[in-house]
Structure 1
Amino acid sequence: MAATFFPPRILPMNYVISKEFHRKSSELASRFSSSLAFISNPFVSGVKHEGNSTFSHSFGFLRDYKLSGKCRARNTKVLHAHLLLTDYLQSDVFFVNSLLDLYCKAADMVFAHRLFDTIALPNVVSWNIMISGYDRNSMFGKSLDMFCRMHLFGVEPDEFTYGSVLSACSALQAPIFGKQIYSLVMKTGFLSSGYVQTRMMDMFSKNCNFEEALRFFYDASCDIVACWNAMISVAVKSGESWFALNLFHQMCRASLMPNSYTFPSILTACYELKEMHIGKGVHGLVIKCGVTDIFVETAIVDLYVKFGCMSEAFRQFSLMQFHNVVSWTAIISGFVQEGDINFALKLFKNMREIGHEINSYTVTSVLSACAKPGMIKEAGEIHSLLLKLGLNLDAWVGAALVNMYAKIGEVGLSELAFSEMKNIEDQSMWAAMLSSFAQNQNSGRAIELFRVMLGEGVKPGEYCISSVLSITSYLNLGSQIHGYTLKSGLVSNVSVGCSLLTMYSKCGCLEESYKVFQQVPVKDNFSWTSMISGFAEHGCADQALQLFEEMLYHGIVPDIITLTSALTACSYLRLFKTGKEIHGYAFRSGMGTDTVFGGALVNMYSKCGSLNLARKVFGMLPRKDAFAYSSLVSGYAQKGLIEETVLLFHDMCLTDVTIGAYTIPSILAAAAILCRSDIGAQLHAYIAKLGLQADVSVGSSLVTMYSKCGSIEDCQKAFDDAKKPDLIGWTSIIVSYAQHGKGADALAAYELMRKEGVQPDAVTFVGLLSACSHSGLVEEAFFYLNSMFEDYNINPGHRHYACIVDLLGRSGRLREAESFINKMPIEPDSLIWETLLAACKVHGNFELGKLAAKKVLELGPSDAGAHVSFSNICADVGQWEEVTKIRSSLNVTGMKKEPGWSLL
């Protein structure tokens, strides 16, 4: 084990080194002898330069020098030169060891090592001085090297040797070497030494090796408080807080008095276990034991802060006789977390006035307090203070500055704070700046900065990756970042995994998103919620609810966001019963009054047609947001309750709720049902006032509303106002043209839509075919019917075929229409036969009308309209017997013809 550190050396070489060193030292002696006069009393007064000093004088000389507190390298060299004039360095190893110790205390380890190499036969004290000297001067690697060399020369270590080398192992976090030392301790019988036990436990504590520490603790049968403290500390750091409390209980039963090192660890364990009552009991024991150490008092304050008991925390803080920067920081951060920003800033001001130093942790707490809109003045003052103190160059403080300005909304100042930082290799700075861009939805600058980061050679960590993924909607870039996370191993990180699956969900790649979700090794609540939300928002409601059930099966407790996503899925599927069950769960959990969840509840009940429950939940909401209003307005509109719709929208306008683009379509739909162009015009003016006329969904609703009110010119104006219409917008104008007999305009709009790169769907083709039907464009209609499948892989449905039948019927080509129906690839429904029946009535075709009526009655026997239509055909051709027969069948079956109505 030791041979790898030092080559073997033969002892006679020490004598050669000794001679050479003494020769050079003699030269130094003559040079430094005059310097003795400059070394102040007490130790110079007793020195005789003639070389006839007695042993007692020299011993007193060394003792007084050590006690003088002037162990400097230069003074030690002068003393060394003086001792060379005597023969003590050659005859007595005590003097060499004393001088060696002085060099170590003076931090001149190079000269100490040279002196050590002159010793012909160094004893264990000599080795211990060198090992502890290197240890004391933070040269821990050299300390281990010296121990290995000692072992190689066969010198038996003592307890002080083991104690020093174990300290070096702790500092270097070298557990493998520590285990080898542990074996030697066991072999040489020093396991019972309290000094060795303490250092061994300290090593295990700093390396957080719980199992090895526990084995040693029981093997050594530790009976000193320091070992118990170290074992408790290891347990807490390793997440074994219950074990730590059990040890503490055993310690007290063994009559071992806990001290100021015991209580901070135990108080930390109480917080980790969320055991406030145990923490209060420990606080009482602290008072009983009379421990008034500042660290224990600070730990008590910190405990109450973490549990949110700020009144008790402040009381304990006020009772402290002395405060350090940790206690100040704890109480300030506590009030920041509680949202009492003004008092937190007042405490910080008091801390500064008293003259207490502040550190980076204090500053970051204060910066987070100023990270609120409207606090730009306070933020600037703190920033100025940091510049004055030079703390702005600290990486964590710089990151906190960037985050503060980002949350205030001052991205420019965030960039300024970022540019002031010098350490460009620190990831926290880049992560903070990327997060700033992400919070302010500046995807372009975020991606640009990410590329600069890579160009500077800085490897992005989990926070950088998560920030970029949270804002990007570019699938290509997201896939490349995914590849990087796979290569770097970051894909297993929970936050990175969640960001990846969210990115794929936003890009519509739900399959890839689910694959990433399955690969996340430890799925937390956020992971499940992100995937459930992704499914719910992209129309995969079945998968969302299935995943929600799986989440509950795994024992993951859903939060308010998860429940809201599950309710969204219920709304899509119209699952009233499941939605009520989720409502009940949220009510029992105390989350039923949340504004966002309440809006989702109103939406679910509205979509499921239960408007009474929707209105009841709406009335119970402590704060009604735009989504809740819009959901209820939409529910009323869909049910045709026009008066309620308009009144609720009026109430909404009287509140301070912001009316968004998602509310307007529902109220426009109500105006369209009423065919009230005057109400529609007022709404249009209100929309223009809000600046929403360019919104795609609003524009489409305006087009539909004006179309149903009979104003095609206003349709065109509303469509022209919309900024970059989407598929729904284009389809709305095509359908409007079709309904008003403007077939050529409808086809022209379709061609413009294709040029804009918008692909049609089945509804678009219904509008096109309807336009052809109303304008008698037979050839064009068949062209578009064939184009559906050939160009866009859309299978025509019953409504498309009904348009063709209607077109042929309007053109008087009834037999051709019949032949078309018989050759259809799908079974004709009642709509298609009703269309043919209507055409037969127009053209007076009794025989074909009779066939069409028969088919309609077979598919819908309770259809009174089919009976009436066929009755009218019979009447037109003089078949009064048939008319009588049909009217009689209506009376027998109890069917009634609905009366016609008109708004005119």
Structure 2
Amino acid sequence: MINQCLKSKTSHLARRFTSSLALAENSFATSVSAEYDDENYTPFDPFKFFNDRHTSTLPNLRNAKMLHAHLLRTDVLQSNIFFTNSLLSWYCKSSAMVVARKLFDKIPLPNVYSWNIMISGYNDNSLFGKSWEIFCRMHLLGVELNEFTYGSVLSACTALQAPVFGEQVYSLVMKNGFISNGYVRTGMIEFFSKNCSFQEAQKVFFDVSCDNVVSWNAIISGAVRNGEYRAALNLFRQMCHGSLKPNSYTFSSILTACCTLRELQIGEVIHGWVIKCVATDIFVETAIVDLYVKCGRMNEAAMKFLQMPIHNVVSWTAIISGFVQADDSINALKFFKDMRDTGEDINTYTVTSVLSACAKPGMLKEAGQIHSLILKLPPSLDAKVQAALINMYTKIGEVELSELAFGKMDNMKDPCILAAMVSSCAHNQNSAKAVELFQIMLQEGVRPDNYCISSVLSIISCLNLVRQMHSYTLKSGLVTDVTVGSSLFTIYSKCGCLEESHRVFEEVPEKDNVSWASMISGFVEHGCPDKALQLFKEMLSHEILPDYLTLTATLTACAAGFLQIGKEIHGYAFRLGMGTNKVVGGALVSMYSKCRSLELARKVFEMLPQKDVVACSSLVSGYAQNGFVEEALLLFHDMIRTDLAVDTFTISSVLRAIALLNRSPIGTQLHAYIEKLGLQSNVSVGSSLVTMYSQCGSLEDCRKAFDHIEKPDLIGWTAIIVSYAQHGKGLEALAAYELMRREGIQPDEVTLVGVLLACSHSGLVEEAFSYFNAMVKDFNIKPGHRHYACIVDLLGRSGRLREAESFINSMPIEPDALIWGTLLAACKVHGDFELGKLAAKKVMELSPSDAAAYVSFSNMCADLGQWEEVVRIRGLMKGSGTNKEPGWSFV
């Protein structure tokens, strides 16, 4: 009867693969000692002991050895494989794999369960190489393999990341007909998706029709793991069309795919399905919260979170990080306080999220409280937390505190922490300190990561240092990283090395949308819009879908006069669903405005669902630059009336429009509005005020506006110099120019036009030639037509007409109508008819529609009484269709 019972139990064991061995230590000691207790003698029953499912303590080595000794004494160990396998399993679960291996090697005829126990034991103890060794030995000895053998060894191959081993197992599976087994098939899918490719995993999955939920879960999770989120959604649809019902694991995986793709609509459908089909599951509910967080629906995320009966650290962290991403620090900190009140443990991700919530100016008190808290917690030792601490103080503006926190860290040489400190220096434009820390990293043998290198590249401006960094990225192999490569070619572009910038761009193998947008912007900024558009075409040829950044950069290139291409990109943006995007819409308005297509600019503007300051400013500027001053002022008035934020660009555009109208009362009102906004010290606004008052004839107000500029730049200095020059204040203009030079600001072509104009209006001939000659010698600026016109005007005003004629004839460039017109005006003043006749002829040839030239020469002829010539010139003027605009005055 005992033997029959043992055989029955052994058969039962075979069906269950391994027995459940849970035993309390004191229960075992009591059972063994009772055998030698004379008063309460109860024979020890090993079989009952191994099958006792009511013990609470997990196996341990001491109990295993006591049991082993007892079984040796009773001579049942060698005679019954069931007891041997049970003891072997006990040793494996006690992590005593050396002892287990010795016991296994002593089994005279181990069965398939013995081998499976050893393979599983090695897996459980992360000794995957040993698992493979046992499997190879098992196969070599010709032991018949079952589904549990294949499942366990596939787990080992997956952990070892050994594609060759897994493919060999796959061959055996196919050969022995186990591919239809759900357990083995799931293991094969997981192996291929983690170690080979998702396509190989799909082949395994679709080889045989599947009605196993576990296998479906494996292929769907494999798709998510490999970034094949659309494939995961398609597989989920196929699964739902069959007779299988998804479970919690399925929903968790597919919700992750929806999060990444921002597929809120599909996610909401799955949310409804979860409510119908699945009992409360904390992992699925956390995935739903995460879905709403990633899609920016924080109200729904918070509602779902509050409905959850149970919260864990993952769900708390998800909702806190969601509020941080939504820039809602108050709610992020509130939920963190609630989390602490519940006694829930926090992890590194929770702390870094809360530190990000405090990384705002004005939140120093909260930042200090969180800092004090994390010093008491284990995560305070984590490098990521310490890096987040440095970043927090940096963004608050407390650079000294970030350096102090860095100085007190034990693991200062950690790459993560050093990179954070370098980024802190970059954020505060401390390039010297950032480069110094970077050098320390290299000296200490710490390899900087791509984030650290990108931070350094973002603030250096020395071309020699840029090239050294380039050499290091080549040596370290990081030059092909998209972040490093983008930073590198961007800084080359800023340094004016467009060819080197494009060369680095071409070397980046996997370019993202930011890379394409940066390179396109680089071409636009350097006056190469045609190359920018060619690069955009190349991007499309690589089947890369542009985002709003790329489209904005390309539309900026079209604003250089490529209206037709701009219209085509407009249509393409609509097909992509970004036609009414706020950023793209602003770029479209700007493009149409600069291409003088104001009707289309207005249509696009009216179609935008949300009109932001960029779109309004672009249209205001377009109206102003194209002479539609009234429309510009009306639109600006609408912006103020609707409380739309007004930026400096908009105000500058309106001020330029007022200057064209010469309407000083409107300019005075706008100046008062600027004072109310506190923008009078802004260099762009201040420079526009200077120009506006200068055009309106108020030089005193012009000077006051300039004095209010906090730190004038080249444009501001040029505005005041030109203003002085136009009002005949040549000496004041030259004094302002010398002050600008003392500030270390290099003049440009426009500034030097103002300087030469000042010399011309003040009769400073020698000074003018000195400044003119210094253009090429000191500033490497080639004189243009306006510069030559200023010298001709200067000589003409001084009565040196023949010298002016010689100067024109010796010019290295062909004189234009402006230069000959300037000479003509001087000839009229000084009565030089012959030279005036020559100048007038040149102007009429170069610019037949220039009414001023006809009128000036006609008046010269009238002064000399040559009325026949006057009639002839008037006839020529009428024949060319040129009309003189009548003069007008506000008086």
Considering the TM-score relative to the shorter chain, is it more than 0.5? yes
Residue 156 of structure 1 corresponds to 143
Distance 2:239 2:581 in 1: 47
- Alpha-carbon separation, structure 2, partners of 1:257 and 1:596: 43
CA contact (8 A) 2:513 2:549 kept: no
2:406 & 2:320 partners in 1: Cα distance? 25
Matching residue's letter, 2:162: A
Unaligned segments of structure 2, at least 5 residues? 1-24
CA distance in structure 2 between the partners assigned to 1:808 and 1:228 by the alignment: 90
Distance 2:250 2:369 in 1: 40
Tell me the SS of whatever aligns to 1:521.
Answer: coil
Letter in 1 for 2:501: S
Q: What residue is the counterpart of 1:103 in the other structure?
A: 91
Aligned to 1:72: 60
Match of 2:506 among 503, 518, 526: 518
Structure 1 counterpart of 2:32: 43
User: C-alpha separation between the residues in 1 aligned to 2:439 and 2:53?
Assistant: 60
Contact 1:43 1:65 in 2 (8 A): no
Shift of 1:486: 3.4
Match of 1:840 in 2: 827
- Unmatched segments (≥5 aa) in structure 1: 1-35
Q: Give the deviation of 1:46 after TM superposition.
A: 1.7
- Are 1:140 and 2:128 matched, yes or no? yes
1:703: Cα distance to partner?
6.0
Question: Which whole-Å CA distance do the structure 1 matches of 2:241 and 2:604 have between them?
Answer: 57
The 1:182/1:543 distance shift into structure 2, 3 A limit, reads closer
Is the 1:788–1:796 Cα contact (8 Å) retained in structure 2? yes
Question: Under a length normalisation based on structure 2, what TM-score does the superposition of the two structures give?
Answer: 0.76
Where 2:822 maps in the other structure, the secondary structure is helix
- Aligned to 1:483, the other structure's residue is in SS state helix
Q: Paired residue for 2:11? A: none
**One-letter amino acid of the counterpart of residue 844, structure 1:** G
1:527 alignment counterpart:
515
Structure 1 residues 81, 750: CA separation in 2 closer, same or farther (over 3 Å shift)? same
1:502 is aligned to 490
Superposed CA deviations along residues 454-496 of structure 1, whole A, max 9, x for unmatched, are 4554323333334444455454444444434333443333344
Change (3 A) 1:622 1:848: same
Report if aligned partners of 1:392, 1:421 keep a CA contact under 8 Å in 2. no
Q: How many residues align structurally?
A: 863
Larger displacement relative to structure 2 (812-821 or 714-723): 714-723
Computing the radius of gyration over CA atoms, which structure comes out larger, 1 or 2? Answer: 1
CA gap 1:713/1:144 in 2 versus in 1, 3 angstroms:
same
> What is the Cα deviation at residue 524 of structure 1?
3.5
Alpha-carbon distance change, 711 to 367 in structure 1, aligned in 2, over 3 angstroms: closer
- Whole-angstrom distance in 2 between the partners of 1:257 and 1:674: 73
**Aligned equivalent of 2:381:** 393
State whether residues 42 and 64 of structure 1, in contact with CA within 8 Å, keep that contact through their aligned partners in structure 2. no
Which residue in the other structure is 1:831 paired with? 818
Q: Aligned in 2, Cα 1:193/1:845: closer, same or farther, shift over 3 Å?
A: closer
SS at match of 1:463: helix
Alignment deviations for residues 723-780 of structure 1 (CA, whole Å, 9 cap, x no partner): 7765545555655565566767767776776676655544455445545555556566
Tell me the residue number matched to 2:473: 485
* 2:19 corresponding residue in structure 1: none
Cα pair 2:821 2:840 within 8 Å, conserved: yes
Closer/same/farther in 2, CA of residues 752 and 82 from structure 1, 3 Å limit: same
Deviations 1:603-658 (A, max 9, x none): 55654556677778778888776656665665565566777777887887888777
Q: Would you say the 8 A contact 2:255–2:267 is kept in 1?
A: yes
1:460 aligns with 2:448: yes
Q: Using the alignment, how far apart are the partners of 1:80 and 1:302 within structure 2?
A: 51
| CA distance 1:109–1:534, shift in 2 (3 Å) | same
Q: Are 1:66 and 1:102, in contact at CA under 8 Å, matched by a contact in 2?
A: no
CA distance in structure 2 between the partners assigned to 1:664 and 1:281 by the alignment: 48
**Alpha-carbon distance in 1 for matches of 2:241, 2:587:** 56
Q: Is the 8 A contact 2:50 2:86 kept in 1?
A: no
Q: 2:154 aligns with which of 161, 166, 170?
A: 166
SS at match of 2:167: helix
Contact persistence 2:224–2:257 (CA under 8 A): yes
Deviation at 1:214, TM superposition (A): 4.7
Cα displacement (A) at 1:564: 4.0
The farther-off stretch of 555-564 and 706-715 is 706-715
Partner SS state of residue 43, structure 1? helix
Q: How does 1:204-353 map to 2 (within 5 A)?
A: 204=192, 206-207=194-195, 209-214=197-202, 216=204, 226-240=214-228, 260-266=248-254, 268=256, 295=283, 324-327=312-315, 329=317, 353=341
SS at match of 2:33: coil
Distance (Å, rounded) in 2 between the aligned partners of 1:604 and 1:509? 27
> Pairwise mapping of residues 371-382 of structure 1 onto structure 2 (< 5 A)?
none
Range moving further from structure 2, 519-528 or 870-879:
870-879
Q: Identify if the C-alpha distance between structure 1 residues 107 and 47 changes in structure 2 by more than 3 Å, giving closer, same or farther.
A: farther
1:669-680 alignment runs, 5 A limit: 669=656
**Residues 43 and 624 of structure 1, relative CA distance in 2, 3 Å threshold:** same
- 1:330 shift after superposition: 5.1
Contact in 2 for aligned 1:44/1:61 (Cα 8 Å): no
Mapped partners of 1:254, 1:658: distance in 2: 55
For residue 790 of structure 1, report the CA deviation from its aligned partner: 6.0
Distance 1:827 1:122, change over 3 A: closer
After TM superposition, give the deviation of residue 800 of structure 1 in Å.
3.9
Q: Distance in 2 between matches of 1:780 and 1:37?
A: 108
TM-score of the two chains, using structure 1 as the length reference: 0.75
Q: Residues 490, 157 of structure 1: CA spacing in aligned structure 2 closer, same or farther, 3 A cutoff?
A: farther
State how far apart, in whole Å, the 1-side matches of 2:352 and 2:196 are: 28
Q: Distance in 1 between matches of 2:594 and 2:243?
A: 69
SS at match of 2:34: coil
Across the aligned residues of Structure 1 and Structure 2, the Cα RMSD in angstroms comes to 5.5
Alpha-carbon distance in 1 for matches of 2:739, 2:266: 74
Deviations 1:652-690 (A, max 9, x none): 788877776545655665676677889989988987887
Deviation at 1:41, TM superposition (A): 0.6
Mapped partners of 2:686, 2:349: distance in 1: 52
Shift of 1:715: 7.2
Alpha-carbon deviation of 1:534?
3.2
Q: Distance in 1 between matches of 2:670 and 2:299?
A: 53
CA distance in 1: counterparts of 2:500 and 2:402, whole angstroms: 35
SS at match of 1:107: coil
CA–CA distance in structure 2, aligned partners of residues 148 and 528 of structure 1: 51
The structural deviation recorded for 1:136 is 2.7
Paired with 1:450 and 1:643, the residues of 2 have a C-alpha distance of 55
CA contact (8 A) 1:46 1:61 kept: no
Tell whether the 8 Å contact from 1:418 to 1:433 is kept in structure 2 after alignment: yes
Residues 37 and 44 in structure 1, CA contact (< 8 A), matched pair in contact too: no
Deviation at 1:45, TM superposition (A): 1.5
